[in-house]
C-alpha cells in the first residue's frame, strides 16, 4: 500500500505546481596543492635546496596562479628556479598563467644554511582564479578566488596544517 500512496502523491504534487528541487551537480573546481621534498643540504654545508611541486588535483583549470614562498629569517635566498623571483624580505613569488587539471609545475629554492641553532623552514601560499564553468540553465558564473596556504607542506582548501 505504501508504494501505491507514493505513486499517487508525486502526481498530486505536480498537479499543484509544487515540484521537488532538481539536483545540480557541483561545478568543476580547481584544487592546487604545494608539496615540498626533503631539503637537500650541500655536502660542504654551504646551502640548502628545497624542491617543490605545485599540482592541480581538481577538475577545473586555475588561472592567474601565484605561489608565494617565505623562508625563515635565519636563511638567505641565493637562487630560485624560473619563473620565480626572489624579494628582499625572504620571499619568492612564482607566477603562472594557468594550470589545467592534472598538470604540475615544479621548481626549487636555494638558501644559505641557518646559523647553529637556527631554523630552516619554507612556508607557501597559493592563490588563483578558477576557470569559469557553466551550469545548465544558470549560465557562466564569474571567476572565483580560491587559495591554499601551506606552512611547509601540502595543503587543501584554505586550511593551514
Nearest to 123 by CA among 146, 153, 99, 94: 153
3-class secondary-structure state, position 134: coil
- Asked if the structure places residue 39 within a domain, the reply is yes
How far is the first Cα of the chain from the last one, in angstroms, to the nearest whole number? 54
Q: Is the pLDDT of residue 158 over 60?
A: no
pLDDT at residue 23, as a whole number? 66
DSSP-derived letter for residue 31 is: -
- Asked if the structure places residue 155 within a domain, the reply is no
Strand pairing category for 62-71 and 122-130: antiparallel
Q: Which domain holds residue 30?
A: 24-135+144-150
Task: Give the up-direction half-sphere exposure of residue 113: CA atoms within 13 A in the CB hemisphere.
Answer: 11
- Asked if the structure places residue 104 within a domain, the reply is yes
pLDDT digits (tens, 9 = 90+) for 52-69: 999 999 999 999 999 999
When divided into structural domains, the chain yields a total of: 1
- Asked if the structure places residue 50 within a domain, the reply is yes
pLDDT at residue 12, as a whole number? 52
- Asked if the structure places residue 88 within a domain, the reply is yes
Q: Give the CATH number for residue 68.
A: 2.60.40.1170
3-class secondary-structure state, position 104: strand
- Asked if the structure places residue 6 within a domain, the reply is no
C-alpha span between 19 and 127 (Å, rounded): 40
- Asked if the structure places residue 111 within a domain, the reply is yes
3-class secondary-structure state, position 32: strand
- Asked if the structure places residue 131 within a domain, the reply is yes
Report residue 8's pLDDT band, with 50, 70 and 90 as the boundaries: very low
What angle is formed at CA 17 by the lines to CA 11 and CA 22, rounded to 5 degrees? 80
Amino acid at each position: 500500500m505504501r508504494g501505491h500512496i507514493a505513486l499517487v502523491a508525486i502526481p498530486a504534487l505536480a498537479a499543484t505546481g509544487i515540484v521537488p528541487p532538481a539536483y545540480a551537480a557541483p561545478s568543476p573546481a580547481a584544487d592546487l596543492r604545494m608539496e615540498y621534498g626533503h631539503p637537500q643540504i650541500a655536502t660542504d654545508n654551504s646551502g640548502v635546496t628545497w624542491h617543490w611541486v605545485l599540482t592541480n588535483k581538481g577538475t577545473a583549470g586555475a588561472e592567474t596562479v601565484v605561489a608565494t614562498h617565505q623562508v625563515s629569517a635565519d636563511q638567505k635566498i641565493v637562487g630560485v628556479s624560473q619563473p620565480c623571483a626572489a624579494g628582499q624580505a625572504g620571499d619568492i613569488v612564482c607566477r603562472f598563467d594557468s594550470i589545467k587539471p592534472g598538470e604540475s609545475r615544479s621548481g626549487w629554492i636555494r638558501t644559505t644554511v641557518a646559523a647553529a641553532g637556527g631554523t630552516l623552514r619554507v612556508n607557501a601560499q597559493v592563490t588563483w582564479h578558477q576557470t569559469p564553468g557553466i551550469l545548465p540553465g544558470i549560465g557562466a558564473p564569474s571567476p572565483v578566488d580560491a587559495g591554499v596556504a601551506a606552512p611547509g607542506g601540502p595543503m587543501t582548501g584554505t586550511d593551514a596544517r
